[in-house]
Amino acid sequence: MNNINSEKGVTLVEVLVSITLLSIVLITLMNIFPQMGMMNNHTKLKAQGINTAKEVLLKWQNDNDRIKNFFATPDVSVIPEYKPITGNAYNFEYVNGDFLVNVKINKNFSKESDIYNAHLIVVKLYNKNKTDIVVSETYGYVKIRR
């Protein structure tokens, strides 16, 4: 009887149970890592898209000569890197790195900006490979300074 109570060590069943539980935990953790990588790539693309959209908007807002020339003759010759979309002189697109950039400028003043004589400009960025996915979108107003 003394022999049974003084046993030290682990039984084979306990070892198998612990290996099984450890395997379940490790397999669960291993499935998380690829998902984290995909989310990181998506977040990186989204952050780049936001920054690019803001840069395009600021470029339009700060380049008064381009704005004056554009509204004098709304033609793509003023902005050679852009291509008009279906003959619309106020809707352009061009490729910028991983993105297809779409810029749309309202020819007429919007009601919100009528007092300031500002034109609404909308910048949308699409994934270059999947043009139906909007990565980022921003808008602002451009004003012709005299």
Q: What is the pLDDT of residue 18?
A: 94
Cβ neighbours of 20 (radius 10 Å): 10
Instruction: Indicate whether 71 belongs to any domain.
Output: yes
Cα–Cα distance, 119 to 64 (Å, whole number):
13
What's this model's pTM, rounded to 2 decimal places?
Answer: 0.66
- The pLDDT of 127-140, averaged and rounded, is 84
Range of the domain at 138: 10-143
The C-alpha torsion from 109 through 114 and 119 to 123, rounded to 10°, is -100
What mean pLDDT value characterizes the chain? 80
Q: Please tell me which residue, 8 or 121, carries the higher pLDDT value.
A: 121
Q: Please tell me which residue, 74 or 38, carries the higher pLDDT value.
A: 38
Q: Is the pLDDT of residue 5 over 80?
A: no
Instruction: Indicate whether 70 belongs to any domain.
Output: yes
Instruction: Indicate whether 2 belongs to any domain.
Output: no
Residue 107 · residue 120 · CB < 8 Å:
no
pLDDT band at 21 (very low <50, low <70, confident <90, very high): very high
Percent of the chain clearing pLDDT 70 (strictly above):
79
Amino acid at 100: L
Q: Is the pLDDT of residue 146 over 70?
A: no
Instruction: Indicate whether 5 belongs to any domain.
Output: no
pLDDT band at 7 (very low <50, low <70, confident <90, very high): low
Residues in contact with 136: Cβ distance below 8 Å, sequence separation at least 6, in sequence order = 46, 49, 50, 52, 53, 124, 125
Q: How many domains does the chain have?
A: 1
Instruction: Indicate whether 1 belongs to any domain.
Output: no
Q: What is the pLDDT of residue 2?
A: 56
Q: What is the pLDDT of residue 26?
A: 92
Picking from 111, 129, 108, the residue whose alpha carbon sits closest to that of residue 119 is: 108
Q: Is the pLDDT of residue 38 over 80?
A: yes
